[in-house]
Amino acid sequence: MKKICFFDIDGTLYNTDKKLPESAKKAVLEARENGHEIIIATGRAPFMIKNVLEELQIDSYICFNGQYIVYKNEIVHQEALNAEALNQVTKFAQINNHPLVYMNAEKMISSLPYHPHVEESIKSLKFPHPEHEEHFHENEHIYQALVFCLEDEEGKYHQEFPEFKFVRWHRVSVDILPKGASKAKAIQLLIEKFGLVLAETIAFGDGLNDIEMLEAVGFGVAMENGHEEALKRAKYVTGHVDEDGLADAMRYLNLIK
């Protein structure tokens, strides 16, 4: 029976060098040829995944950890952060000397012209330090923001802003999402809207933002290189992303030969 496969990008499709291994590319293309549906599920913005969409010929994707959903090249859901609440986070971050990055579907903009924490984390995605624009977040629909702080500084954001969800993805960076937002919620929306079958869904992931997705689908696969919490929630742990772990998992699940 046809499976609906959801793939995280960083640490799952992309290896530690932020490149798509040839084994992963062949596996995904073969799985599609075998009749399985391929959907990206990432915390990245749409403008950040153009290359992988083109290389793998993918027309369905979940971005911003569920805030922006495209199915067969049609936008089926988009939900921006509450503007007033985001303004409050911005003021709080300024008081604490924490920069922010704001993202819409087309670009990301920094609250400061330059900051080393922004440089470090965004560079890890193979993107340059974002440009700075005054009042960008006040004039645009912001689907996801990033606040740059250390782990021991993160707790005060959880306490001060319970209407938001803060998910760490880097040593110095945390995603800001609406409370309750997740890749799992986006998958449920697709299932309900397009009559997909939950039992036939498979998710592949590695990070904290993949936990709900791994638990919600019919079968969750975590990469060996993933966060320990993601590994605990998966039904199956495959090899390291740098050692053809994704292709091995797809072979194990009979998606490919």
Q: 221: which residues sit within 8 A by CB, 6+ positions away?
A: 202, 203, 204, 205, 214, 234, 235, 236, 237, 238, 249, 253
Residue 192 lies in domain:
4-78+181-252
Binning pLDDT at 50, 70 and 90, where does residue 1 land?
confident
What is the pLDDT at residue 13?
Answer: 98
154: left (phi over 0), alpha (psi -120 to 50) or beta: alpha
What is the pLDDT at residue 178?
Answer: 96
Q: Give per-residue pLDDT as tens, 167-196.
A: 999 999 999 999 999 999 999 999 999 999
Q: Same domain, yes or no, for 14 and 99?
A: no
Q: Same domain, yes or no, for 209 and 247?
A: yes
CATH number at residue 50: 3.40.50.1000
29 occurs within a structural domain: yes
In this model, does residue 242 exceed pLDDT 90?
yes
222 occurs within a structural domain: yes
Cβ-contact 187, 61 below 8 angstroms? no
Instruction: Name the percent of the chain in helix, strand, coil, to the closest 5.
Output: 40, 25, 35
* pTM listed for this prediction: 0.95
- Please confirm, yes or no, whether 8 is among the known catalytic residues: yes
Distances (CA, A) of 253 to 149, 165, 210, 249: 39, 33, 19, 6
In this model, does residue 208 exceed pLDDT 90?
yes
257 occurs within a structural domain: no
Choosing from 8, 10, 206, 244, which is the catalytic residue?
8
Q: Same domain, yes or no, for 91 and 53?
A: no
For the chain, the domain total comes to 2
Q: Same domain, yes or no, for 101 and 44?
A: no
39 occurs within a structural domain: yes
Q: Same domain, yes or no, for 170 and 191?
A: no
